[in-house]
Chain A
Amino acid sequence: MCLAIPGKLISITVQLDDTFRQGKVSFGGVVKEVNLFLVPEARVGDYVLVHVGVAISVIDEEEAERTFYYLQQMGEVANEIPD
């Protein structure tokens, strides 16, 4: 139930009142209308984490890279991470 899925913000469609701020988010090609009220910092091109139709966090690319760097340090990640 607490499932939240990362998707790419491809456009902002409703901007008028922040409570209703909306955008289109692509989940591997499947595009859905998502509320953006909770992520005012989200820009087109960002990956956002979406839960029950609402974006709850902008995914931090640097931190994601760091996770893999940490794994590499453990001697884990042999190959480059594909983009």
Chain B
Amino acid sequence: MKYLTEYRDPQQVSEVLKQLASIVTREWTLMEVCGGQTHSLVRNGLLDMLPSRITMVHGPGCPVCVTPASILDEAVALAMRPDVILCSFGDMLRVPGTEKSLLQAKAEGADVRILYSPLEAVRLAVENPSRQVVFLAVGFETTAPANALSVIQASKLGISNYSILASHVLVPPAMEAILADPDCVVDGFLAAGHVCAIMGTDEYGPIAEKYRVPIVVTGFEPLDLVQGIYMTVAQLEKGEHRVENQYARSVQRTGNTMAMGSIREVFTVSDRSWRGLGLIPNSGHEVKEQYAAYNARLRFGLSTTAVENDGGCISGQIMKGLKKPRQCPFFGTSCKPEHPMGAPMVSSEGACAAYFQYAAESAISE
């Protein structure tokens, strides 16, 4: 097994789809939480292959999309300082801040670097002792352990020129915010497989119970996705609402204890503003006091107050499943990947960019 190609077999995908069609008796709306799943569903044309009574809506699980403009503004302000090397995952560079993106700051001479891993930023700090290296630490529970590990490594190495600008978000509070909305349209969830690889599945039981929704932890390959959808619909058709795990090859119920330990070591749960969704209590991470020296906000005395103004972008309604990207008046006209108005048009895991990129190849049904 290679754990990849086996899950892309079109023959098996179509057989699961046939089974799915045979059990659907009414309309259901499912939300895939993770942007990676959105990307895979759209890229593989799966949305067109599903039975017409099943509607997929695309959740808030793209960290790039939900990072508020205020944090981009902080990152831009840091990047403009001559003593700072601002590092980030590549996806973040084109996300619009209030005035400019990191890419624009870079064009104006800021030292902005794209890294694959936060651990590379620690190395960069070692190599550049006279500069301050700041890592823009975005991400869900999947990415938090790696970002935490960078702080732990820096602390062990006794490095004093490394810090992170934490912008972590947590999935379960966002799912609750969506479910608690009186306009909620979601009948069942595909939970984000890699978030659960870290955190396990126990957090979802109370949510499934309280809102009476099935939650199926699902992987990212075509076969994973159609199987996850099948399992969710099978529960819905039977009137059940349990947590199930389609992605057991990578997700244990108890999660990864080392990873959770690293998160707890460095971060504490805090309120967080989500672009499009607003403030959600206890939905993010901030660096613990014990590691204050590695908190860029404290080190550089940043203030976090900014007015969020997305100029008409309806990403919040899209992430709640109330609208589809094509229902946005700006989609494909004034908002395109080259000049995004909102973050979901930036990252290939944002619903708007995913629809835009693959619309030409497959006529995506509304």
Q: Which residue of A lies closest to B251 (CB)?
A: A57
* Residue from A28, A47, A60, A67 whose CB has the most chain B CB atoms within 10 Å: A67
Residues of A within 8 A of B248 (CB): 60, 63, 66-67
Interface residues of A in 10-43 (CB under 8 A from B): 17, 19-20, 28, 35, 37-40
Whole-angstrom distance from the CB of B133 to the nearest CB of chain A? 16
Interface residues of B in 156-203 (CB under 8 A from A): 156, 192, 194-195, 197-198
The answer to the question of B146 belonging to the interface, with a C-beta cut-off of 8 Å to chain A, is yes
Whole-angstrom distance from the CB of B42 to the nearest CB of chain A? 15
Whole-angstrom distance from the CB of A76 to the nearest CB of chain B? 4
A74–B36 Cα distance when bound, in Å, is 27
Contact with B along A42-83 (1 / 0, CB 8 A): 000001010111101101110110111001001111100111
Binds A, one of B11-19, B47-55, B283-291: B11-19
A77–B138 Cα distance when bound, in Å, is 40
A19–B92 Cα distance when bound, in Å, is 27
Query: Do residues B119 and A2 form an inter-chain contact, with CB atoms below 8 A?
Result: no
Contact with A along B233-257 (1 / 0, CB 8 A): 0000000000000101111100010
The answer to the question of B62 belonging to the interface, with a C-beta cut-off of 8 Å to chain A, is yes
Query: Do residues A64 and B3 form an inter-chain contact, with CB atoms below 8 A?
Result: yes
Contacts A1-B35, A40-B258, A59-B3; is A19 near B152 (CB within 8 Å)? yes
Query: Do residues B63 and A38 form an inter-chain contact, with CB atoms below 8 A?
Result: no
Q: Which residue of B lies closest to A60 (CB)?
A: B249
Query: Do residues B145 and A54 form an inter-chain contact, with CB atoms below 8 A?
Result: yes
Whole-angstrom distance from the CB of B248 to the nearest CB of chain A? 4
A6–B249 Cα distance when bound, in Å, is 11
Q: Which residue of A lies closest to B7 (CB)?
A: A67
Query: Do residues A53 and B120 form an inter-chain contact, with CB atoms below 8 A?
Result: yes
A36–B246 Cα distance when bound, in Å, is 25
Query: Do residues A28 and B194 form an inter-chain contact, with CB atoms below 8 A?
Result: no
The answer to the question of B352 belonging to the interface, with a C-beta cut-off of 8 Å to chain A, is no
Query: Do residues A1 and B250 form an inter-chain contact, with CB atoms below 8 A?
Result: no
The answer to the question of B360 belonging to the interface, with a C-beta cut-off of 8 Å to chain A, is no
Contacts A1-B349, A53-B116; is A83 near B246 (CB within 8 Å)? no
Can you name 10 extra interface pairs (CB under 8 A) apart from A1-B63, A19-B149, A54-B149? Answer: A1-B62, A1-B89, A19-B153, A35-B146, A39-B258, A54-B117, A54-B146, A60-B252, A68-B6, A75-B15
* Residues of B that sit less than 8 Å from A by CB: 1-4, 6, 11-12, 15-16, 19, 34-36, 61-64, 89, 91, 116-120, 138-140, 142-143, 145-146, 149, 152-153, 156, 192, 194-195, 197-198, 220, 223, 227, 246, 248-252, 256, 258-259, 262, 347, 349
- 11 CB contacts below 8 A, A to B, read A2-B36, A6-B3, A39-B256, A51-B143, A52-B139, A52-B143, A53-B146, A54-B119, A64-B1, A71-B12, A76-B16
